[in-house]
Amino acid sequence: MPEDEPTPLPLFERAISRRALLGGAALLGVALTVPTVACGSSGGDSKAFASTSTTEGPSTTASPGTTTAPSGGGTAAAIPAGATVTTDFTYAVSGGGFAKNPYIAVWVQTASGQFVDTVSLWYQSGRGQKYLNDMRAWITASGGKDLSMSSATRNAGSYSVVWDGNDASGARAPQGDYVICIECAREKGPYQEITVPISIASGPSSANGADKGELSKVSVTYAP
């Protein structure tokens, strides 16, 4: 699958920023710190990463390609202008020897499992695009068409990606309960998916996810 193989093999295990900058090679579990860029639902992946730090629940099934208000009914106030939802995570290669860079997707769903926006998507464009089908949770949630936040794969390290509170259409999302999803898969390596529920309202909030496979130190922080 990812990077520099003319005939990559498909991923075989089933067990996930907007625009991250690679802070240097850090294979075999050595964490990196990289600068980030602010992530929104429009623009390129170059707009999505903010300052990084070295810092993962069951997934829900979303309706492909749809956006909706969070659960609770009624009309909720919009997420405040300028608010950010920052997801920090560390990717470290398990085992030893050479490992290809993973495909990673970070996206937002409502608490009821409906797709809101892709925050960041790392994959090998061109010949590697066919392997996006291995990102089964993201494909199911987004319909596989929300590529606005896509970029190249990255080495092991610590990354931070930021959701700006807009949905995939560019409209302001309402306040409510959301789930931040991270999916990670690589050729001849483990597959993992981590979901972190978080409440997004008028005040700040934060939540952490449990370490899983090659993903660790997952935290989500909402700043209105």
Between 73 and 133, name the one with better pLDDT.
133
pLDDT at 70: 54
pLDDT band at 74; cut points 50, 70, 90: low
How far apart (Å, rounded) are the C-alpha atoms in residues 16 and 9? Answer: 19
How would residue 190 be classed by pLDDT, with cut points 50, 70 and 90? confident
- Report whether pLDDT(30) > 50: no
Confidence (pLDDT) at 94: 83
pLDDT confidence band for 96 (50 / 70 / 90): low
Residue type at position 201 = A
Domains and CATH numbers, the chain: 45-223 (2.60.40.4070)
pLDDT tens for 133-164 read 889 999 999 998 888 778 889 998 999 999 99
Distance of CA 53 to the CA centre of its chain: 16
Under a CB-based contact definition with an 8 Å cutoff, are residues 149 and 121 in contact?
A: yes
Which residue type does 218 have? V
Q: How confident is the model at residue 97 (pLDDT cuts 50, 70, 90)?
A: low
Of 16, 9, 20, give the one whose Cα is nearest residue 155: 20
pTM: 0.68
| pLDDT for the residue 150 | 81
Average pLDDT of the residues in 37-50: 39
Instruction: Go through 111-136 and write b for each residue having 16 or more CB atoms within 10 A of its CB, e for each that does not.
Output: bbbbbbbbbbbbbbeeebeebbebbb
Say whether pLDDT at 33 is over 60. no
